[in-house]
Structure 1
Amino acid sequence: MPSLPRPASGPGSRYTARVAATRPRPQHHRTNIAALSHFLTDRDIWLARMLHEHRVLTTHQIARLAYTSLRSAQRRLRTLHQYTVLDSFRPLTVTGSAPEHYTLGPAGAALIAAHAGVETTSLGWRPTHTGRIAYSPSLGHDLGVNELLTHLAARARTTPTTGLPLWLSERSAARRWGDLIRPDAYAHYRDGQYLLPFFLEYDTGSQPLARVEAKLTGYAAFTTATNTRPALLIHTRTQSRDQALRRRLTDPARDLKLHVATSSADFTTTNPWGPWWAPLEPGTQRTTLTDLAARWTGLSPASGLEPTDADTTLTIPVPPLPPTHRTVGP
């Protein structure tokens, strides 16, 4: 998919998908929601909702959000896979091996549908669900988005006043604002008294710079139409692509009065909240997400986030952390 080189392994690398079902299941484990009622925990149900929202998460991403260790995550995920709550696959990579990738399984889809009082088909889930994700050309992009945001969300587990109280997927963002913009994610990053509401554009280098620039017009139209002003964070693969974007976007961002900052995987790695983000303003240096929130005093959360009578459990945002770890306010 992308034209630029990718890492040899890990989220965002050049995947070659193989058969989606990687682990055999015992024959006696079948979709039976009633039988699972005594077995599933609140964390299990939260995970099913997260996979419905964000499509695919690796073992490491799930462990980061919800478990005390990778080994405990692997044990529970293996069990949930056996009971068909989850499906999984492991793509081939150019070098090394990829972690297990988890998606929503048939029992998980039936569970979510039952909670919402709808048929499973209303979720958009089909028996081919995992296969379509495994072979999707956007797999690396989707995992890159989830890698960045799971690191931000999981920070609340060690620093309770910091993290992501809100994280909407590309699909949820499109449901709310698709007539104006289609970001790869929308989230709120909080650090104590500072709140940074932001749209995320996860740039893989596959799009021409002119197409990335054209997206700024949509974000400017959004701020005008809704009278709200979230920031726009653009994350890309390499520092060279980051510099090319900055040269192309600085003047349009200024003319459109947008608050935009860029960074790349060369910097953010495992602590994307750190001093890796450069505002599109002359003479600025890279800074932290907290400093961006303090610097851009005119920011405000996007409209359309409050639940309405039209919302269901399928459209209400899923908390980025499981119930026992919800420590950051909205």
Structure 2
Amino acid sequence: MPTTDPHPNPGYVPRAASRRRRPAQPSRARTDLAQLATRLTPRDLWLIRMLHEHKVLTSHHITALAFTGHRTANRRLRELYFMGVLDSFRPLRTRGSAPEHYTLGRAGAELLAAQAGVDLPATGWRKDNCASVAFSPTLDHTLGVNTLLTHLATHTTTRLPVWLSERSATRLWGDWVHPDAYAHTTAPDATRLLPCFLEYDTGSYNLARLEAKLPGYAALAATTATRTPLLIHTAGTRRETALRHRLADTADRLDLPIATSNTQLGTPTHPIWLPLNPSPAGRLTPTQLAAHWPDITPALTDTSLLPAPATVSGRNAPLPWHPTPPRPPVPGSA
């Protein structure tokens, strides 16, 4: 299961990480894509698409989403690493040790390109891909978003049929908003759907910047005739209190369904979400949020998934985009 610590990287040393070594001479299986493809399972191919979509997942995230135990997961992840399908790094901590962090490797990116009939650059993969993620100043933020959504995808009280990254959300709604993620969460019996945009606030910038995003969400709702809640997960109780005070009037004026939470309250499947307007007697679970706003509608529809007409064809065309399901096609497959 993913770590239960509300902070994804407690005690990490800034801009420091270790890398495991591969053999100096790669095996033929790493360079021959046709042969490599025969060694990959549907779950492996799903993981390649997930890492392309979400940039980085820890071994805890991947175990929770796709495996029955850490030992089985770590063994397969190690094999994929030595095939070149995945890259990995381990951030250094001031105390204790961090889990292995996985990114898309060159062979994985080449497989994506080959399946789509395009060249490798169309995937956005570069030789320094792993290092750029490992030393990115936004690594904490990315891991925080992915940890929160992994909890929603794997808890027994929720299901997560849709999980789009910041990049995919921007592809669809970038004319209006740039959320950190977009998701659909439901109860196990799928009776209540909570579509939502997610803003993951680490407290690194002032509240005015968050408030300035709200008119964009209102414009999106008006333009598309949808009503999709915005969930804002903050860095702590004081930050959440200040944020709610700052946003209350603007959210009411724009008629936006907004709920907030903070890292000190537990996992996102628990009753940690507090709507702004109208405010209930207490905090709610995602399923209860869906009931609290009976008139909400998802921004993501079937027509949203239609790809834009390609301006370039052939192997120089961009990589076709399709949403990646948050769970593998056959959970627990070998």
Q: Write the distance in 1 (CA, Å) between the matches of 2:13 and 2:236.
A: 18
Q: Write the distance in 1 (CA, Å) between the matches of 2:35 and 2:234.
A: 45
- Residue 182 (structure 1) shift: 0.0
Aligned to 2:150: 150
**2:172 is the alignment partner of 1:171:** no
Residue aligned with 2:16, SS: coil
Aligned to 2:249: 251
TM-score w.r.t. the length of structure 1 is 0.90
Q: Write the distance in 2 (CA, Å) between the matches of 1:80 and 1:207.
A: 38
Native 8 Å contact 1:48 1:85 kept in 2: yes
Q: Write the distance in 2 (CA, Å) between the matches of 1:140 and 1:276.
A: 21
CA distance 1:14–1:205, change in 2 (3 Å): farther
CA distance 1:313–1:320, change in 2 (3 Å): farther
- Residue 9 (structure 1) shift: 6.9
Residue aligned with 1:263, SS: strand
Native 8 Å contact 1:17 1:90 kept in 2: no
**2:282 is the alignment partner of 1:295:** no
Native 8 Å contact 1:81 1:87 kept in 2: yes
RMSD (Å) for aligned C-alpha atoms: 2.1
More divergent stretch after superposition (195-204 vs 306-315)? 306-315
Aligned residue pair count: 314
Aligned to 2:271: 275
Native 8 Å contact 2:163 2:326 kept in 1: yes
Q: Which amino acid aligns with 1:79?
A: E
Q: Write the distance in 1 (CA, Å) between the matches of 2:300 and 2:31.
A: 39
Deviation sequence 1:135-167 (CA, Å, 0-9, x none): 100000000000000111113xx46xx311000
Aligned to 1:203: 201
Gaps in structure 2 of 5+ consecutive residues: 310-317
**2:55 is the alignment partner of 1:49:** no
More divergent stretch after superposition (26-35 vs 289-298)? 26-35
Native 8 Å contact 1:32 1:107 kept in 2: no
Q: Write the distance in 2 (CA, Å) between the matches of 1:126 and 1:113.
A: 13
Q: Write the distance in 2 (CA, Å) between the matches of 1:310 and 1:61.
A: 32
Residue aligned with 1:60, SS: helix
CA distance 1:290–1:217, change in 2 (3 Å): same
Q: Which amino acid aligns with 2:65?
A: L
**2:330 is the alignment partner of 1:324:** yes
Aligned to 1:193: 191
More divergent stretch after superposition (12-21 vs 184-193)? 12-21
Identity, % of aligned positions: 53
Native 8 Å contact 1:231 1:258 kept in 2: yes
Q: Write the distance in 2 (CA, Å) between the matches of 1:84 and 1:107.
A: 5
More divergent stretch after superposition (13-22 vs 82-91)? 13-22
Aligned to 1:98: 98
